[in-house]
Amino acid sequence: MRLKGQTAIVTGGSSGIGRAVCVKLASEGANIVIGFGHDSEGARETELRCRAYGVNAISVQADMADEEACDRLFLEALDMNERVDILVNNAGITKDNLMLRMSAEDFDKVIRVNMYGAFYCMKRASKIMLRQRYGRIINISSVSGLYGNAGQVNYAAAKAGLIGMTKSLAKELARKNVTVNAVAPGMIETRMTEALPEEVKAEMKKSIPCGRPGKPEEAAFAVSMLADPEASYITGQVLSVDGGMF
């Protein structure tokens, strides 16, 4: 129960990696605010799994592209426990296409959800965590943001942007005991990767030294490590969880 009494906000907690993060942090004793876009049933399921550990868990609808909606996450968290110890910016979307076919609209949408959403939440978290003189911010980036990926110019830009934001904010908050890190998953089995064409999935699997895709729980473990109070001297880092891919 290393996180007992703490409060964590996890965006996009209704499925996949976000759900696994919520459950892992709850198993460590944290109260959880689950941000979700549209999937209220998924969020409810996450809530129930978290509560099984005897913590508080609530779901809040918050479209990450909407600044005011992001505010709601923080108001609810403060209402629940008067603190926000952990923020996990996990919500994300892809709209893949080769550059010549990518519309400006699809570029914009991916940047809005993946990057602006994280910006809105980090801004609010920074204010609260500076006041508390404690906090852990973890951004879910991607190997695409580190190494690029054909068909993902928009997504790679957003995920690389998140890394730049992580490293810069880490420097701003370091003196106040607030750490900011990123986790860069490779291929993790979730709805996002399920949607990929079979031949792309097969090709990706071949490039994983571990010989298999990762599980959401394996990405969640990395998040929980960085969220630990003892991870106090790790900041501005990007931790790859990719089965040795890069």
90 binds ligand NAD (CB under 6 A): yes
Q: Indicate which residue of 116, 120, 134, 155 is catalytic.
A: 155
CA geometry: angle 21, 27, 32, nearest 5 deg: 60
| Binds ligand NAD by CB under 6 A, chosen from 92, 135, 161, 243 | 92
Residues within window 152-181 making contact with ligand NAD, judged by CB under 6 A: none
For 113-125, letters b (16+ CB in 10 Å) and e give bbbbbbbbbbebb
Instruction: Answer for the pair 112, 119: CB distance below 8 angstroms, yes or no.
Output: no
- Residue 63 binds ligand NAD, judged by CB under 6 A: yes
Please give the residues from 206 up to 225 whose contact with ligand NAD meets the rule CB under 6 A: none
Q: How far apart are CA 151 and CA 102, in angstroms?
A: 9
Cβ-based nearer residue to ligand NAD, 27 or 240:
240
| Residue 64 sits in the site that holds ligand NAD (CB under 6 A) | yes
Q: What is the layout of strands, in order, in the sheet containing 86-89?
A: 57-61, 31-36, 7-10, 86-89, 135-140, 178-185, 238-241
**CB neighbours of residue 175 within 10 Å:** 9
Q: Which of 6, 9, 18, 169 binds ligand NAD (CB under 6 A)?
A: 18
Stretch that binds ligand NAD, among 32-40, 49-57, 76-84, 170-178 (CB under 6 A): 32-40
Catalytic status, residue 155 = yes
Interacting span for ligand NAD (CB under 6 A) from 90-98, 119-127, 128-136, 222-230: 90-98
Catalytic center residues = 155
